[in-house]
Structure 1
């Protein structure tokens, strides 16, 4: 892969390419990507979507929106630092093509900002609920009418693929989706493969899938434009855009450290664990007397969090540059932090978060409720759409379809299109809206 091609400013939906030197320096093309994402309705819904603690009543626990903003900030730092080193290593990128270090930061920041834009409400429980509906529930009835890959898209419903759909799907008045640059779309695609075969190799890019069959042509167009390397002669499997590794690292750094921080602030993890574990991810020694000189627990944990994130950012930059050539050849097959000097310490922190936070009674109870809510919504809306398409809608079905926004009725010319339209509708709901709609449909709330 070549950086000149990987940094494509061409916008999805455009015919002509754009040149970096033609850009207005006050608002660069890649920065426009960030703006378009942050003003989208799908991004706004993240303000009321679960990160770890569903429907928390406290004011310091992260939602998907605050998590995405923080991942974007870390991603910008990673991109700028890597960009500076890449321009030193490949000076023609600046001298001939006009790229600056901040371009790399803008690409990674925008892709990181969008990395959770397709995730359903109620955290990963939401993805599981949608998959289970088709794998074990009413959705099984559609298996014989879909191709194997179309059905697998639904059985392993993936927030990353739904995010790619949001960013690229054309609809009336919005051709080319959000019309982001190809470079940003490439950096967004952590899993550049389709849903089948499932995990064909241990390669990190094969862990999940990145697009639905409905967006296959869009994905192939982007992969071709960017010059991504094909990794299979028979299946749609490509090497990642190199900057996708930085987006992944930004996410890994934030959820490792900040979910741990949330657990401590909620009282689910003892504060002493912070000094014991986070101090091991900081390059210089933390003196307990300096730590306890900070008067509040929030300030003390925030101090450690900032130092730990700073350490991991600098190490990630070093790892990327050490292995840049292997990454460009498509030979790098794991997450950057998998090779971190602090890998054991990171795993210790994640283990505690899993035991004390992710598996806490509060989280499990609300995930169970979320699972039931999404299953009910899928059943009601898919039944209504299916009966309407077969010209056998009941009066109830007709009423239900009045609740489906017009934008989700535009892609219903195929069975998968109809099913995915409901899945996308449900996925784009906030936690609170899903609960409210569920209660109204069940007759438990009126008005």
Structure 2
């Protein structure tokens, strides 16, 4: 039977020299006894999966609100897809899969209800109180808000996982990296970041076609779609749209991942990367796409932005989402006693506005709509204790 020490020795032997080794982790804020057969990063992954915030992702929007159909992606399915892509890339590059998977699974914990609309609305409502950004909120969740252990607040994750969470997309906005004077995250963190973008674009393309928000005929102008459609039609004649869509999306993911792997390995050689600190202090991000592939990916993003995210049906839901969240914030600000008891914890150093923001951002699409109805619909909830 493998012990933790055995796994750590295998990492030293198998992983690339610039991969993060679990035995060399910078540790946790609160020191804990090591587990007998799980590495530090494996424990972090498990803690994320068992957290309340992770379970709530099932009912948080990717693009479509949870009740619009069982097929569409949620933040939970998106996180699982990001983790799958992340693990595949890391295995092929001999990086630490457990660390990267923990980062990938945790990267959206701080997303509020209603996706990017929710983030924009909460940031506006909190503009005089420190703002709101979902990567920061993810870090806040795993360091403060989760209450599962008697010895510490949060999940007490390792420094490397927290680095990857807070470093998910913004280089200049990372308190952990600023304190440690590192410019970039580990390669595992960079892989999780790019995997998020790969999954996001490809799977929104899938959902957009299924929902009829996107016209497959117009996708002929998108290079990634056009190239893979041509190859597919040479192999299969008169393929139905459902199969055709699935196969093209699958091929797009493969194209992006393949280019990402090749380019990242080329950059490792180009910048002379030999250690984890070489990755963090490099003059540029080591992981990334080639110039040609990056242009194709940006073209797909622009197409989705114009034709899907700005679609009338999506914008209509965004309007309603803004109404829900703004009215909840106003109600809780005017009557703080409406907040749940956990928001009134004795001795809290957080402002009332931050506690309100934590409460709303922790809601799901469903619970925020229900709470709005309870507060603003005259007949809702009468005769019951809430």
Q: Is the partner of 2:335 in helix, strand or coil?
A: helix
Partner of 2:373: 439
CA-to-partner distance for each residue in 1:183-203, whole Å, 9 max, x for gaps?
2222222269xxxxxxxxxxx
1:15 has 2:26 as partner: no
The question of whether the paired residues in 1 share the 8 Å contact of 2:148 and 2:154 is answered with no
**Range with bigger deviation, 47-56 or 323-332:** 323-332
- 1:389-428 correspondence to structure 2 within 5 Å: 398=337, 400-401=338-339, 404-406=340-342, 408-410=343-345, 413-414=348-349, 416-428=350-362
Consecutive unaligned residues of structure 1, counting only runs of 5 or more, are: 84-100, 136-142, 144-150, 193-203, 211-215, 231-237, 386-397
**Range with bigger deviation, 38-47 or 427-436:** 38-47
Determine the C-alpha separation between the residues in 2 that align with 1:36 and 1:306: 30
Partner of 2:58: 47
Alignment partner of 1:183 out of 147, 153, 160: 160
- 1:30-179 correspondence to structure 2 within 5 Å: 30-83=41-94, 101=95, 104-135=96-127, 143=128, 151=129, 153-154=130-131, 157-169=132-144, 173-174=148-149, 175-179=152-156
Partner of 1:199: none
Residue 411 of structure 1: CA displacement?
7.3
For the aligned residue pairs, the C-alpha RMSD in angstroms reads 3.0
The question of whether the paired residues in 1 share the 8 Å contact of 2:54 and 2:106 is answered with yes
Determine the C-alpha separation between the residues in 2 that align with 1:256 and 1:362: 19
1:366 has 2:317 as partner: yes
The question of whether the paired residues in 1 share the 8 Å contact of 2:121 and 2:326 is answered with yes
Residue 412 of structure 1: CA displacement?
5.7
Change (3 A) 1:34 1:281: farther
The question of whether the paired residues in 1 share the 8 Å contact of 2:264 and 2:287 is answered with no
Residue 132 of structure 1: CA displacement?
1.8
Determine the C-alpha separation between the residues in 2 that align with 1:9 and 1:66: 29
Alignment partner of 1:330 out of 282, 294, 316: 282
Change (3 A) 1:291 1:344: farther
Partner of 1:269: 214
Residue 34 of structure 1: CA displacement?
2.0
CA-to-partner distance for each residue in 1:209-238, whole Å, 9 max, x for gaps?
34xxxxx6xx47xx76xxx534xxxxxxx4
Partner of 1:87: none
Residue 253 of structure 1: CA displacement?
0.5
Determine the C-alpha separation between the residues in 1 that align with 2:224 and 2:67: 24
Partner of 1:278: 224
1:249 has 2:194 as partner: yes
Q: Is the partner of 1:323 in helix, strand or coil?
A: helix
TM-score (norm. length: structure 1): 0.71
Change (3 A) 1:354 1:426: same
Residue 247 of structure 1: CA displacement?
1.1
Determine the C-alpha separation between the residues in 1 that align with 2:233 and 2:99: 39
Consecutive unaligned residues of structure 2, counting only runs of 5 or more, are: 1-16
Partner of 1:381: 332
The question of whether the paired residues in 2 share the 8 Å contact of 1:78 and 1:313 is answered with yes
Change (3 A) 1:344 1:173: closer
Determine the C-alpha separation between the residues in 2 that align with 1:171 and 1:109: 20
Determine the C-alpha separation between the residues in 1 that align with 2:281 and 2:26: 23
Determine the C-alpha separation between the residues in 1 that align with 2:280 and 2:266: 12
Partner of 1:229: 181
The question of whether the paired residues in 2 share the 8 Å contact of 1:9 and 1:17 is answered with no
The question of whether the paired residues in 2 share the 8 Å contact of 1:205 and 1:333 is answered with no
Residue 316 of structure 1: CA displacement?
1.4
Change (3 A) 1:58 1:343: same
